[in-house]
Copies of this chain bind each other. A is one copy, B any other.
Amino acid sequence: MRKGKTINEIEIGDEASFSKTIFEADIVLFGAITGDFNPMHFNEEYAKTTPFKTRIAHGGIAGSLIAPVLGMMLPGLGTIALETKTRYLAPVKPGDTITATGKVVSKDIGRNTVVMELTWKNQKDKLVMSGEATVMPPRA
């Protein structure tokens, strides 16, 4: 299988993205995996009483779309995530199509670590989440 990029192959400014629509089924399955049955995700009647006025997707669903970016694209196969930071800026709703993007902002060749700026935008190009990841690319 094709190994990801090593730290020497990675350049500041490199970026990669993954996009996917968030389905009702994703919310159901995320509940199954995590036990997070918060009524703001699972109870339409309750959701009408919240500031969002409708059910919203778990933040972790959109958040996790960065995983295929880091682990399968940039740096790619063999990457180990050390730390991630995520800010939640706007709600993600069922039916939204989210694009998760990682962009290299610095690298430390001695420690073999790369810092990437993360953004998550919806189909209207609205920034719904932002963050940073520190990862170790695969070694040569």
Contact = CB atoms under 8 A, between A and B. Distances in A.
Given A21-B55, A25-B24, A97-B45, A82 B87 contact: yes
Contacts of A38: 67-68, 71-72, 77
A19 interface: yes
Interface residues of A, number: 55
Interface in A1-50: 1, 18-21, 23-40, 42-46, 50
A68 B32 contact: no
Interface of A: 1, 18-21, 23-40, 42-46, 50, 55, 58-61, 63-65, 67-68, 71-72, 77-78, 80-88, 95, 97, 123
